[in-house]
Structure 1
Amino acid sequence: MSGHWLAIYVFGQFRTRADHPDVEIFHTSEPGVWAAMERSEGFIARSGYEDEPGPDSWGEQVYPKYWQDNGDGWAPSIISLWQDLETALAAIYRGPHAEILKKGPDFMQDHTDYPAYVLWWVPENHQPDWDEAVDRFELLGDEGPSPDAFTFKVAFDPAGNAVTANGKTARQIAERNRLTAVAPRSVQ
């Protein structure tokens, strides 16, 4: 939606330490998944992490109150910005990211008392930091969906009106993303 971007914060916890062999599928898949996401229609930007190659971190990384350190001081989390609900929905639930989501029960905790993600609108050119993202995540976890913190299933537009993501549009976007990913690159 013009004038606003959709912010997404995702948080999860591994069943084991991040360096355990069961988590290797996550680590080996992550670069390809993010490369596909960054090529997706509607992707704007994402935060990186301090002391890691890639995009700059959007402030000091913090975790929500739900975090339980399993001995490695780490948990998978990300902040990203998208054009709208449909482009984010297409990239997250179709393609490479959807494939790793299917494998998630093998390495992620699945019985949690907190949401997996939160969505909220930010003004264009606003880059939310980790504190803002965690605040929105905890708001959703504490109070449920609202215009300030919501999900794809219970969504709102930037004006605070309840909306439903257009699944047909998201599928069309996902197909364009897929075709772009497999299209041969021209040689210069």
Structure 2
Amino acid sequence: MHLAELNIAKLRFSEGDPRAAEFFENLARVNGLAERMPGFVWRLKDEESDNATSFQINDDPMVISNLSVWENAESLEKFVFQTVHTGFYRKREAWFEKPAAPHFVMWWVEEGHRPDLKEAAERLAHLSEHGPGDFAFDWAQVPAAQLWREARCA
């Protein structure tokens, strides 16, 4: 089994707004790093832009998503909390509104499966409505997720 993850965020500013420039100017760099990480399998992306900002998960055009598949939680955790991504993660409130509901979900998929945004949205909705379980979970349900725990406490 591989690990799928969805992370959504509502932008404070549109692409092209100077207040969001640092985020958008580094998107390709951070995505490229993810693709080179040990344990990375796949990510949803538009072939023209090489990112997923053109995909809509709901009716709000300011909501962007990141959908990817990893060999395991440890590989994803290392990317999120031990690379240049960490600096951008810490600055997220400069570019994104604080979420009122769960915005991140993980679930297990068969090797070779590439989830779409519909499947990912169903997993996120399930987590929000029913809490964590086998169908959908977050970092708190990954016992080995020490980097997440440290980042959360920082």
Spell out, residue by residue over 1:124-160, the C-alpha distance to the aligned partner (whole angstroms, 9 max, x if none).
Answer: 11111110011101111111111111011123xxxxx
Q: Which amino acid aligns with 1:6?
A: L
Q: Partner residue of 1:128?
A: 115
Spell out, residue by residue over 1:24-64, the C-alpha distance to the aligned partner (whole angstroms, 9 max, x if none).
Answer: 11101111111111111100010113x73338x8xx94425
1:76 paired to 2:64: yes
TM-score normalised to the size of structure 2? 0.85
1:109 paired to 2:97: yes
Q: Partner residue of 2:48?
A: 52
1:52 partner SS: coil
In terms of fraction of residues, the more helix-rich structure is: 2
Spell out, residue by residue over 1:95-143, the C-alpha distance to the aligned partner (whole angstroms, 9 max, x if none).
Answer: 1111111111111112x22113100000111111110011101111111
What RMSD, in angstroms, separates the aligned Cα atoms of the two structures?
2.1
Percent of aligned pairs with the same amino acid? 25
Larger Rg, first or second structure (1 or 2): 1
Q: Where does the alignment leave 5 or more consecutive residues of structure 2 unmatched?
A: 148-154
* 1:98-177 aligned within 5 A: 98-110=86-98, 112-155=99-142, 164-165=143-144, 167=146
The whole-number CA distance in structure 1 between the counterparts of 2:100 and 2:146 is 27
TM-score normalised to the size of structure 1? 0.71
Q: Where does the alignment leave 5 or more consecutive residues of structure 1 unmatched?
A: 156-163, 169-188
